[in-house]
Amino acid sequence: MNTSAQISNAKLNRRLLKDKLFTYAIIFLAFLSSVPLFLILFELIKKGYKQINISFFYKVAPDTMEAMVAVKNNEIIPGGIANGIVGTLIIVGMASLIAIPVGIICGMYLAENSKGKFAGVVRFIVDMLQGVPSIVLGVIGYIWVVKPITAGFSGLAGSVALSIMMLPSIVRSTEETLKMIPGTLKEAALSLGVPYHKTMLRVVLPSGISGILTGVILGISRIAGETAPLMLTALGSAAISTDITEPSSAIPLLVWEFYNDPNLVDMIWSASLFLLILILCLNLTAKAIAKRWKVQY
């Protein structure tokens, strides 16, 4: 009997030891995976904060001569990224206006007709769009808008390319969120004589607003840092441009332009730090919305 108890205790001790080792291994690997992120943040903050001041937000990007004189005199490079901020707001805003209604309607259709053949085709296309390289979407924007519509590079073309990139996250988040809502909620509204379209717009859709908004904000945060599609569509602008049919700048485009000029290297870090903070705020907003209005049934 004592021997049997000793064997059981030995097995229990081995299992507890394995459990602790596995737990410590997971903690170590999780810490190891976060080290590059903290190193990137440290590097961006260390090198990027120097250029961030009031003029950074309302002045346009400096030219090479201004930057060269400032660097030679060990001064802060004059100018800022106002043209990139305005361009990013316009392009991302227009892309959102295009993608959000289309994505939500498409997600509603997939949730309501999940077993249909056409729904299966649409779902397959949406999944394929998630894996399409961003440069390919830039080519599509160039073919669809730059050549036939605006006859030149424009913010509108960049918005179309980015809206296509936004669609998968909005569609999938809308579909999965609406699937979580019990069918009895919709049936109760229909049984009271509420038309189908009003049931979907005023009952079902508001019930899943947290998941839908989370998908929307994550989609916006994804496209806000894209460069490749804008290089083939918006091109960039040295001045602040509010005309959607003309070339427009954006923060990622400015980062690329600064990279190609050795005198503007310091501006790379500041623009990247601002863009990182912007995307971080969007992601934190998405998490706050999901936590605040989480669907629970």
- CA distance readout (Å), 249 to 141, 210, 290: 16, 32, 32
Q: What is the pLDDT of residue 103?
A: 94
Provide the pLDDT for residue 109.
Answer: 93
Per-residue pLDDT, 297: 52
Question: Residue 104: its pLDDT value, please?
Answer: 93
CB 247 within 8 A of CB 237: yes
Instruction: Round to whole Å and give the CA distance between 278 and 255.
Output: 15
> CA-based diameter of the chain, in Å?
90
Joined tokens for residue 108:
């509603």
Q: 0.85 cut: is pTM over it? A: yes
> What is the structure's pLDDT at 21?
92
**Segments in the chain below pLDDT 70:** 1-7, 293-297
pLDDT value of residue 25: 94
Is 285 buried (19+), middle (13-18) or exposed (0-12) by CB count in 10 A?
middle
Which residues lie closer than 8 Å to 259 by C-beta, 6 or more apart? Answer: 265, 268
Q: 106 near 171, Cβ under 8 Å? A: yes
